[in-house]
Every structure is written in C-alpha cells, then in structure tokens.
Structure 1
Amino acid sequence: MRIALAVARHGSLSAAARALGTTQPTVSRRLDAFERRTGAKLFERSKNGLTPTPLCTALIEGMNRMEEGALTVERRLAARDTALQGSITVTSLDWLGDHVIAPIMARFGGRHPRVSLALINDGRRYNLSRREADIAFRPGVFDQDDVVERKVAEVAYGLYASPAYLERHGLPDFDSGCAGHTLVVLHETPPRAPLTDWMRDIAPGARAILRTNSIWSQLAAAEAGEALAALPRVLVDKRLTLRRVETPRPGPVLTVRMGVHADMRKTPRMRAFMDFAVRELELRAAELNPR
C-alpha cells in the first residue's frame, strides 16, 4: 500500500521509485503483485503515466492515515535511543551544503564515531515528517507540520563579475539601469525572492541570458566572463577569478534556518549534532555575513 500511495502521489513508477529510494522495476513488480493478490485494479496504464482508478482514489485517504500512523511509530522508535549513536540524514542546498554544512558534519563525525552521517544536497524540499531526512538547513521558512525550526545563520550576497567581463563591458552604470549588461540569475522561488527583487531593482536594464537552480552554475557562468551574478559573499569574496561590484544598495541577506521533526529533536544524537552545528555556524557568523 505504501508503494501504491507513492505511485498515486507522483503519477509514474519512476517518480515513485525516486521518492521511495528504490528502483522502477521493483516498484512495478511489487505493485503488480499487490494488484494480483487483492484482485483489485488500482491504476489505469497509459503512455502518459498511471492514473488512479476510482477504487484507488477512494482508498487514498485511508492509506494516508495508515502511512502517517506508521511514520509516527517509526519516528518515536527512532527517537528512543538514549546513547549517542545511530544515523542522521541532513539535507541542504547545493553550495550551502557543500561549502558550509559538509565541513561541520565531517568535524562532528570525527568526534562521534558511532554516529553515521549522510548529507543530501538537493533543491527539493525533503519531507521531515516522512523521514526523507532528519534535519534540514535552508533559506526561508518550513511549511511542514510538526517541524521545529531555528534561525542559525545569515548569508550576505553581492554582485560579481570576472575581470574579463568588466574589461569588455566596463563597470555597470546603475543610473542607467545597467543597460548593455547581461545577468545569470536563479529561478524564482520564495526563499530566494529577495535576490530576484534586488537584481531587478538595481539592474532593470540588464538582460538575463541564463536562469539556473544552482549557485555553482551561476558562479561558473560569471567566472567564464559571460555575465554578472548575485552570489554568496562567503563563497566568492576570496576568489581571484571574480570581483565584487559596488552597488547602490547593499546586497540582500538571506536567513538560513535549521528544521527537525518535533518527535526527533530530543534524541541524543540529533540534539548533539544540532547544538554542534549552531556553535560552528556562530563561529562563522562574520564570514557568512560580512559587514
């Protein structure tokens, strides 16, 4: 039923497999076996994917309740540990996970050999209620039920260009709206909206030549001399390949929050890691948000 629910949610075997952390053939095989065993057809197959039958649609509410009950039991069993041992899965965004969170996790892992750590950097918002991850670090607020969140850092951004770009195009003229200049920008999402708004405000005449969901690809395009980009100062200020451009308004500062499901927050390994991460981020506060 867990597999049937995942297929109903995601609309295809491959998407359900990704969500469940398994393979498409496994999902297909187990769904077929379930339908044969119950004698119930749950999905109509077509070239556009799988569509729930009326029977499946009628069962979804009950399967959702069953899943939530099972996940509650699973979380409370996982939270029973009284020793500093077990697994912790952390999720974050690309550059933040790579550049900031990964070193923190490595230092914690070196001090606590009985704790197994995993880091997943992905733009997708992993569901902490379903234990897709245990702890998340991300800009913006959490919209999942029963997630306890805490502000842990502020990250300042600036406008950057390569020396080669500035040699070809000159410094941006903000009085003219940066006409004649090109930009590489992030896809618009609510947590990163301040970046988009800032760029529109200071450079309304510049042309966006690339939209991406990754800070790393923005950085690469800027280093290649193709465009201006708004990037985290902690990531770029010390790079010789890029120069920060003075802007009429300071760059935005995005708040990073740490979230954990309420059932898991008092587990010793979770508590120890979160306290450790907060202390480490406090030590880097001036680097993450230079004045």
Structure 2
Amino acid sequence: MSEWTMSIDWDDLKTVLAIARHGTLSAAARALGTSQPTVGRRLEALEQRLGAKLFDREAIGLRATALGHSLLEGLEQMDSGAAAVQRQVAARDTGLSGEIRVTSLDWLGDEVVAPMLARFGALHPGLEIELVNDTRVYNLARREADLAFRFGAFTQENLIERRIGEAAYALYAAEDYLQRHGRPEPGDGFAGHAVAYLDRAAGEVPHEQWLPPLAHAARTVLRCNGLRAHLAAVRAGAAMAVLPCLLGEREPSLRRVPLAQAMPLRSVRLGFHSDLRDTPRIRALVDYVVAQFAELADELNPAMKEGAEGKRA
C-alpha cells in the first residue's frame, strides 16, 4: 500500500464526492455542513498528497479531471454502503433517544413544522432534533436527513411517503390597502393595483400561476424568493400577494380577497427511508406530526371549515 493511500480518510473522500456532485466549493460545503474555506483546504491538501489534480478550476465551478472522474464510481459505492450501514444502525435503536434530522422549506418549516418538533422534543428529553429549512432536495437514502416535509412528490427509491395535509392559498391584501385602492376587479385585469410575485427563478409555482392572467393589468412591484417577504409587503399595505391561508388568516390586518376561483391547494407530504420504518424515535415522530397536521387541517385549508371545495394545484 502506498504512502498517500494510507493518508486518505473518509472525510477526504466525502469532500471529493461532494465537490463532484455540487460543482462548487460553496455548494459542497453546504452539503457537508461545513465552510467553503474548510472544503478548499481539504481538497488542496489531498491533491498535494496525491501529487495530482482531482478538479480543474473553471469560471463556473470545478470539473473533475480524468483522475477525479475515475474515482467517482467507487466513491458513490462507498457512500451508498456507508449510508446503508448508518440506516441499519439507526433502525436498531430501541428507545426514544438520539438525533433526528428533519428538512422542510420556507413558511411550512418555520410556522408549522418547527413548533411541532419543539413540542415533540419537549415531550422526549432524550431526543435532539435538528430542522433545516432549505429548498435543496435532501437525499434521504444518504442520510442527509431522516425525515423530509415537501410539497412535491418524492422520487427517490425505497422511501415511505405520506400525504399529511392540504395547504390552501389565496390572494391577500391589507385592510388599509383595500380602503385606498378598492377591491380588485378581475374584469379589468386588476388595473390600478399592485402585486408581489415569487422571483422568476422559481418558475411556474402551482399556487401562484393562476394569478398573472387574472391580474394582467396590475403593476408588479416586487419579486422575491420567499413568502415571508410577500407577507411583509402585504402587511405594509404596499401590494397584494398570494399567501398560504395559514399565514394570511393569522394576520388581523389582512383580508382574503374574494375571487371566483377556488383556492388552490398543495399537498403536504412527509417522507422517510423504509429502513427507518420501525425505528422507535422515527415512528413516534411520524405518528405525532400526522396527528398534529390533522388538528391544523382547518387552518391549513379554511375551505374545509367553510364548506367549499378547493382546487388542487
């Protein structure tokens, strides 16, 4: 065995794999839960020990060299094997103790998932729960997270997916905005009104894509990458925006703008790897959040309480 082979550890190899997967040092650092300088130093030290480059530096990121590319298949196999071992060990847990890593996104994680996890953690002092709100799709097979809350369907293999709720969306405006501008008229394309939308990088978002054709004469005053910014703009009386009903209805100064269209719905889904099906802490948390979402059903979708039917986005 050569000297440089003996000096390589699994952290070095995980760094190489993360850079290859994500293409930049900063993205690899986020995936590894560390800093960009740390990833850069680790890669540089490894390349010095090998006496060869694993990546070429390009304007848009890093591209694997022939040597780096030749290592990737083996590294993927090692990573899959390590993840399988981790899942098997986790599945043998016999008590409600240890760590649970959960991923969610945007308002759902902040307003709904976080309070649930905090209450569950308070009931079970032996648990340490970590919540990461991120638009990135975490790989549950690689144990990047144990549980994931999403609006879209899960596509990875060997996952258990449950639809646990329906989140309704509607157009909201502040009371003082409506007093100044009046209620929007769909017939004139919301002329004289101001609207906030998600940024263009979000693409066509199901809960929002119905509004632009309806409000074609309205002025777009803000585009941003999160619904909390929309909420702030609407609360300030500067614009109307599509918001989750759970957020909009909790704001005393906001009013739901009545429209002929039914409120669009997005299904909230919970997923976890099948290897963790019988892990006590995972099973207990899944059962808990399912019950909690059932209690929140009317807030997530007011149409259920009002006797109206929503239109699923």
Structure 1 residue 194 corresponds to structure 2 residue 206: yes
Q: Does 1:126 align with 2:164?
A: no
Q: 2:271 is matched with which residue?
A: 259
CA RMSD, Structure 1 to Structure 2 (Å):
2.0
Partner of 2:6: none
Partner of 1:80: 92
* Alignment pair present for 1:172 and 2:172: no
Looking at structure 1, the residues matched to 140 and 242 of structure 2 have their Cα atoms a distance apart, in angstroms, of 30
CA distance in 2, matches of 1:251, 1:38: 59
Report the equivalent of 1:39. 51
- Counterpart CA distance in 1 for 2:168 and 2:26 is 38
Given residue 91 of structure 1, which amino acid in structure 2 is its aligned partner? T
Q: Could you tell me which of 273, 286, 294 is aligned with 1:282?
A: 294
Structure 1 residue aligned with 2:162: 150
- Distance in 2 (CA, whole Å) between partners of 1:188 and 1:158 is 20
In the superposition, the TM-score normalised over structure 2's length comes to 0.86
Q: CA deviation at 1:283?
A: 1.3
Q: TM-score, normalised by structure 1?
A: 0.93
Q: Which residue of 1 aligns with 2:258?
A: 246
2:298 is aligned with what amino acid?
Answer: A
RCO (CA 8 Å, sep 6+): is it higher in 1 or 2?
1
Structure 2 portions without partners, runs of 5+: 1-12, 304-313
Cα deviation, 1:180-216, whole Å, max 9, x if unaligned, reads 3221112468897322222134323323322222111
**1:58: which partner in 2?**
70
CA distance, structure 2, for counterparts of residue 160 and residue 70 of structure 1: 48
Work out whether residues 116 and 289 of structure 2, in 8 Å CA contact, stay in contact via their aligned partners in 1.
yes
SS at match of 1:205: coil
**Closer/same/farther in 2, CA of residues 124 and 195 from structure 1, 3 Å limit:** same
Q: Secondary structure at the match of 2:197?
A: strand
Alignment partner, residue 248 of structure 2: 236
Does the aligned pair in 2 maintain the 1:137–1:259 contact within 8 Å? Answer: yes
Question: Are 1:223 and 2:242 matched, yes or no?
Answer: no
Residue 139 of structure 1 contacts residue 192 of structure 1 at CA under 8 Å; is this kept in 2?
no
The question of whether the paired residues in 2 share the 8 Å contact of 1:188 and 1:196 is answered with no
Structure 1 match to 2:19:
7
Tell me, in whole angstroms, the C-alpha distance in 2 between the residues paired with 1:187 and 1:76: 41
In structure 1, runs of 5+ residues without a counterpart are none
Secondary structure of the corresponding residue to residue 15 of structure 1: helix
Contact 1:140 1:191 in 2 (8 A): no
Number of residue pairs matched?
Answer: 291
In 1: Cα distance, 2:250 partner to 2:60 partner: 49
